[in-house]
Amino acid sequence: MIKNEVEKVYALEWTGDVLKVLDQRVLPETIRYDEYKEAGGVAESIRTMRVRGAPAIGIAAAYGVALSVMQHYSSSSDDWQQKVAEDMQRLADSRPTAVNLFWALQLMQEVLDGNSENLIDKVRQVAEQIHAEDIKANQVMGALGAELLVDAKTVMTHCNAGALATGGYGTALGVIRSAYQRGLDTVYAGETRPWLQGARLTAWELAQDGIPVTLIADSAAAWLMQSGTLDWIIVGADRIAANGDVANKIGTYSLAVLAKQHGVKLMVVAPLSTIDFELTSGAGIILEQRNPNELLAECYSHEDSLVSAWNPVFDVTPASLITAIVTEKGVVMNPADKGLRSLM
Q: Which of residues 292-321 bind ligand MRU (CB under 6 A)?
A: 313
Residue with smaller CB distance to ligand MRU, 249 or 265 = 249
Residue with smaller CB distance to ligand MRU, 111 or 198 = 198
Helix (H) or strand (E) holding 121: helix 119-148
Q: Which of residues 192-221 bind ligand MRU (CB under 6 A)?
A: 197
DSSP state of 183: T
In the list 166, 273, 317, 327, the residue contacting ligand MRU (rule: CB under 6 A) is 166
Residue with smaller CB distance to ligand MRU, 196 or 222 = 196
Sign of the torsion formed by the C-alpha atoms of 158, 135, 312 and 299: negative
* Burial grade of 237 (CB within 10 A; 0-12, 13-18, 19 or more): buried
- Main-chain dihedrals φ then ψ at residue 170, nearest 5 degrees: 105, 160
Does 189 interact with ligand MRU (rule: CB under 6 A)? Answer: no
- What 3-state class would DSSP assign to 157? strand
Does 177 interact with ligand MRU (rule: CB under 6 A)? Answer: no
In the list 68, 154, 171, 327, the residue contacting ligand MRU (rule: CB under 6 A) is 171
- Main-chain dihedrals φ then ψ at residue 315, nearest 5 degrees: -140, 175
Helix (H) or strand (E) holding 265: strand 265-269
Q: Which of residues 43-62 bind ligand MRU (CB under 6 A)?
A: 52-55
Does 156 interact with ligand MRU (rule: CB under 6 A)? Answer: no
In the list 159, 184, 275, 340, the residue contacting ligand MRU (rule: CB under 6 A) is 159
Does 101 interact with ligand MRU (rule: CB under 6 A)? Answer: no
How many CB atoms sit inside 10 A of residue 178's CB?
A: 22
Applying CB under 6 A, which part among 14-22, 116-124, 163-171, 320-328 lies near ligand MRU? 163-171
- What 3-state class would DSSP assign to 325? strand
Catalytic residue numbers, as ranges: 238
Does 165 interact with ligand MRU (rule: CB under 6 A)? Answer: yes
CB 340 within 8 A of CB 333: no
Residue with smaller CB distance to ligand MRU, 3 or 249 = 249
- Please name the amino acid found at residue 284: G
Residues within the interface to ligand MRU (CB under 6 A): 52-55, 98, 159, 161, 165-166, 171, 197, 236-238, 248-249, 313
